[in-house]
Structure 1
Amino acid sequence: MQFTLFGLLMLAVSLAVASPAEEFEALVEDHWAWTLEQSPQLRTHLGDSGANDRWGDMSLAAHAQRDTRRAEFLAQLEAIDADALGEQAQLSYAMLLRRLQSERSEYRLGLHLIPINMRSGPQHLHSLQERIRFSSERDYRDWLQRLQRMPALLAQYREVLEEGIAQQRTQARVVMERVPAQIDRLLAGEPADSPFYKPFRAAPEGVPESQWVELQGRAAEVIDRELNPALAEFRAFLTGTYLPACREQPGIGSLPDGKALYRFLAGYFTTTDMTPEAIHAVGKAEVARLLAEMEEVKASVGFEGDLQAFNTFLRSDPRFYYETPEALFEGYLAISKRLDPELVKLFGKLPRMPYGVRPIPDTIAPDTTTAYYSRPAANGTQAGYYYVNLYRPEVRPKYEMEVLSVHEAVPGHHLQIALAQELEGLPMFRTTGGETAFVEGWGLYAERLGYQMGLYTDPYSRYGQLTYDMWRAVRLVVDTGIHYFGWSRERAIDYFKANAGKSEADIVNEIDRYIGWPGQALAYKIGQLKILEIRQRAEQALGEDFDIRAFHDHLLGAGAIPLDALERRMDDWLLEQRG
């Protein structure tokens, strides 16, 4: 393309007079493109297959380069006049500013040097295959490329962990002690038994048999000769070098400047300026409130004995448990089918994207929680999935299944996340992501909506709802206790057992999760309490004119935003409703 001198001058003039809105839109697009470039795994999660043959760069040099680039984005962003932007663009500006500042703080504080725990790390990368459709020969060859690139990725993880040792930024030993056994499960059996080989177990349509046999052979060869030796070497590094250097104390506060680390994480996950001391106090107050409600349920079923005896009864009586994983899974499916028809009572707008129910993979089930949710692909190529833990059904009580389902599926995570992905006119970083305090706060708030959906009619199911609410209240106490006040793991487990009716297996897994992921556990209850406060204020102000469907539609209508922004948004809505 050729430009005249006048054309070049006009182009320069048009660039020079770009409005703040245009500058911001260009910056958001540039930042998102860079984000996708940095994270092939994110692209896979979003349904984009263009980077399915590689992993993100985990090296120290890549971390440093990303921090430099974020500094450049931050400088560009701060040069834009935010006051000249529209309402939603101002919110996007504030969220992007917060995100860049937080990511730079994470790097400065050395949190990138603690990239592994029992629920996250290279030992779990095989689960990414569940986000891939595997409908063409290319999909399988891309996965082969990823398998071949795993040894280099493991070397990068080792480099980061070694630097973490040098900078005294290590994971808690009690968490990392679980990881070698997770790697052992990957190495067990023949190459065809490996979770990384799973896509090659069933032949797809459209791939000639000769090519399929070649792909299977190549996959087994790569796993046997390249991937498994690299995993075994990484395991040896963990047991011989990293584990001995891990911190003995469970709390991140035991590291140099550890309390500052935790204060940052508390603010990051709650999107508030609440101190760990204040969060701890809120948790204790919620525990006391819920204990009183649990006592009422205990009395209603005529149980004689204290609450601890009641919890022991619930943990041990066979009537509350399925005998087989298959029966447990059927129970989850039956509950999920009951939820959808009730949603119209509470929401005017429902997501187009459906969800399904899947078992948590056997390789990770022993070390993970009771359930989790996997969001839909952003391009609509995959539904959302509610994953349930079928490992040891004798510790998965029936009375928790309703409350768990409304949290993870609908009206909890699936409804909120699918609606956010369908919002129009917002940048991708808002529709495909968002603040944990909103996402998890909504999930916990949704548990209370079960009453309005006709759930918890059985007193034991009501006790299950209170148990789950208590679980999140206890989190505030034990997470701050472990990471800020120096609690031992045993003290945290004992506090949990004394105040919640969950099984001991779940409690131990949960405490180890909090140890390995400091601060994240705070988001649930803090987010829920803010949403409940906003709803109570609206109900009191509007009285009989309060419309729960309109309230929920507006609450969810901007995606997962910070709690202070949510409060301002809903205060404006309330003013409009009052005329």
Structure 2
Amino acid sequence: MPDNSDAIAALAEEYQQFRYRQSPMWAHMSGEYAHAGAFTDVSAAGEAETVRQAGEFAARARAISEDDLGEQDRLSREMLIWDATSTAETAALGDAELGADPIFGAQASVGMYLPKLGIPTPEVAEAMVDKLRGIATYFTDLADRHRDGIAAGRTPAAFAAADTIQQLDEWLTSPLAEDRLLNIAPTPEGVDRAALLARMQDVVADHVRPAVATYRAVLCDEVMPVAREDEQVGLLHVPGGEEAYATLTRFYTTTDLTPQEIHEIGLEQVADLERQYAELGPAAVGTDDVPTILAALRDDPKLHHTDGDEIVEASKRAMEKARGVMGDWFGRLPQSDCEVEPTTSGAIAYYFRPALDGSRGGVFFMNVSEPEGWGRYEIESTSYHEGIPGHHLQIAIAQELEGLPDFRKTAFVTAYSEGWGLYTERLADEMGLYGSPLDRMGMLAADSMRACRLVVDTGMHALGWSRQQAIDYLLANSEKSVGHATAEIDRYAVTPGQALSYMIGRLEILRIREAAQQRQGERFDIKAFHDVVLGSGALPLSVLAAHVARRLT
């Protein structure tokens, strides 16, 4: 009979394969090609099977005794229980019924991800044809899920459905030969690329575009007449929405804080940032009047970029500064490097983890489609968050850890990862990385957005705020323009709870650090603290707190 340690290792490997099956695009992006021919399953049957299997994994993990388990095996057991339970709970919410999503929906994102999917062998090349068939099935199933939602009184927000329709129209009216799904990575020797693309184009014409047209028709003819208007944009106005938002709040923050408690924390953070703006304002923009400061950051053309290449170069300079002092603040550094690349699609900035097989390092993308939207003051704080010492250290180190199961190395714990990213924006200030008071003002501006998120996300989804009320609050308490504020609020509206993870995660990491400093006094070593926080992969915040307390006594 295997001992408990062997049982944990075996279950962890089985669970990782389950995760790959559930998220085949993520698996492919990570360099796992076993499911390269698959796409996300949003069918009702697939959702029910996810709930069942994830629940079974959680039960099996609980059934393994902690007796004789070492530290990392105990953490693996806790992570299995948390991750599988969270997967079951969130899958059971029926999110696909509200799945009109102009921010992260497949029609908005698949064209960005497809070129990043490696094609190392002829077998993976062949699988790309099947992947397109899976994309067609995805849109057909999503249309069915919307019909299920309508029957249950669960409908998307009207703005989300309307914006999605516009994106679908742009896709369907684009030339077939230039379809976004035909933009794939380089193919290996032995593959007739022209013949492969011809077959893929046939699948797009015969399967994908008809499925997309069907989905569009359902949104136009069936969803839009009953979609939720802007006054009812939050989950509170959906049957079961209050309970669903509570579940999502727990998942994204990994805490037991209620939406009302988080709302109050957000208000406190916004008030404290007003004081910080007033203190830094004279050196940065020549005034301590907060509305004037925010207006200058928002509207002064001298404080904004005009050239995409300049944005990327500024980010590269910031990353190089960070590389130069990493050894003073971290004992463990990743072997893989992080590059900065421009993009014209997707979020304003985002990070792609290195491939598991080492074929590609980390990549930090800066969206330069509208250079004027980038404040000069934003580049450094964004670079430290997304790149070094932010997401790159957190994610690349996790992937390179030895002796941990793969699911631990690649786990998604949003409060941990985004909390770390936001923590490193302030850590960069401690490290002396910001080049000017204006760059430090960018740190405050980034904090404002994350603090406002606590207020507006809970406001919409738990307190009944309208879309416009949320936009107005963000405009009044950040430097965001009307267009950017609207885009931010729309993101929070279609991904309830996710925006809470940043500031709640940062505050908890700071609390854990302060507790360690109080315990250790003069023995406290910031390098040791960071190594413990990053040295076991992503963890729920309560698990992280207990782990740090055991390590740094």
SS where residue 435 of structure 2 aligns?
coil
- The match for 1:558 among 525, 536, 541 is 536
Q: Deviations over 1:258-302 (max 9, x none)?
A: 221111111111111111111111111111111100011223346
Q: Deviations over 1:357-382 (max 9, x none)?
A: 2223x4x44xx3x2111112222222
Query: Residue 224 of structure 2 corresponds to which residue in structure 1?
Result: 243
Query: Residue 490 of structure 1 corresponds to which residue in structure 2?
Result: 468
Query: Residue 196 of structure 2 corresponds to which residue in structure 1?
Result: 215
Contact 2:262 2:454 in 1 (8 A): yes
Query: Residue 98 of structure 2 corresponds to which residue in structure 1?
Result: 114
Contact 1:374 1:384 in 2 (8 A): yes
Take 1:377 and 1:235, find their aligned partners in 2: how far apart are those partners?
A: 35
User: Which 10-residue stretch deviates more, 416-425 or 243-252?
Assistant: 243-252
TM-superposed deviation, 1:454: 2.9
SS where residue 552 of structure 2 aligns?
helix
2:14 alignment partner AA = D
Take 1:253 and 1:445, find their aligned partners in 2: how far apart are those partners?
A: 31
Q: Deviations over 1:81-129 (max 9, x none)?
A: 2344332222222222122222332244433533442222321223332
Contact 2:13 2:407 in 1 (8 A): no
Query: Residue 277 of structure 1 corresponds to which residue in structure 2?
Result: 260
User: Mapping of 1:116-515 within 5 angstroms?
Assistant: 116-123=100-107, 124-199=109-184, 206-207=189-190, 211-248=192-229, 249-301=232-284, 303-304=286-287, 306-360=289-343, 362=344, 364-365=345-346, 368=347, 370-515=348-493
1:313 alignment partner AA = A
2:438 alignment partner AA = Y
Contact 1:192 1:198 in 2 (8 A): no
Query: Residue 25 of structure 1 corresponds to which residue in structure 2?
Result: 9
TM-superposed deviation, 1:71: 3.4
Contact 2:533 2:544 in 1 (8 A): yes
Quickly say closer, same or farther: Cα 1:253–1:330, change in 2 above 3 A.
same
Contact 2:282 2:288 in 1 (8 A): no
TM-superposed deviation, 1:207: 4.6
SS where residue 93 of structure 1 aligns?
helix
SS where residue 49 of structure 1 aligns?
coil
2:466 alignment partner AA = S
Query: Residue 5 of structure 1 corresponds to which residue in structure 2?
Result: none
Take 1:84 and 1:541, find their aligned partners in 2: how far apart are those partners?
A: 28
User: Which 10-residue stretch deviates more, 76-85 or 291-300?
Assistant: 76-85
Contact 2:270 2:452 in 1 (8 A): yes
Take 2:187 and 2:284, find their aligned partners in 1: how far apart are those partners?
A: 54
Contact 1:188 1:194 in 2 (8 A): no
1:297 alignment partner AA = L
Bigger Cα Rg: 1
Take 1:233 and 1:476, find their aligned partners in 2: how far apart are those partners?
A: 37
Contact 1:54 1:145 in 2 (8 A): yes
Take 2:227 and 2:67, find their aligned partners in 1: how far apart are those partners?
A: 47
Q: RMSD across aligned C-alpha pairs, in angstroms?
A: 2.2
Query: Residue 70 of structure 1 corresponds to which residue in structure 2?
Result: 54
Quickly say closer, same or farther: Cα 1:34–1:165, change in 2 above 3 A.
same
1:306 alignment partner AA = D
Query: Residue 533 of structure 1 corresponds to which residue in structure 2?
Result: 511
User: Which 10-residue stretch deviates more, 516-525 or 186-195?
Assistant: 186-195
Contact 1:470 1:500 in 2 (8 A): yes
Contact 2:381 2:425 in 1 (8 A): yes
1:186 alignment partner AA = W
TM-superposed deviation, 1:228: 2.5
User: Which 10-residue stretch deviates more, 516-525 or 85-94?
Assistant: 85-94
Q: Give the gaps of 5 or more residues in structure 1.
A: 1-14
Q: Give the gaps of 5 or more residues in structure 2.
A: none
Query: Residue 11 of structure 1 corresponds to which residue in structure 2?
Result: none
User: Which 10-residue stretch deviates more, 410-419 or 172-181?
Assistant: 172-181
Take 1:353 and 1:559, find their aligned partners in 2: how far apart are those partners?
A: 16
SS where residue 85 of structure 1 aligns?
coil
Q: Deviations over 1:376-432 (max 9, x none)?
A: 222222222111111221121110100000000010001101111111222222110
User: Which 10-residue stretch deviates more, 48-57 or 489-498?
Assistant: 48-57
Quickly say closer, same or farther: Cα 1:215–1:110, change in 2 above 3 A.
closer
Take 1:407 and 1:492, find their aligned partners in 2: how far apart are those partners?
A: 25
1:564 alignment partner AA = S
TM-score (norm 1): 0.89
Query: Residue 28 of structure 2 corresponds to which residue in structure 1?
Result: 44
1:351 alignment partner AA = P
TM-score (norm 2): 0.93
Q: Deviations over 1:423-450 (max 9, x none)?
A: 1222222110131111111000000121
Contact 2:162 2:224 in 1 (8 A): yes
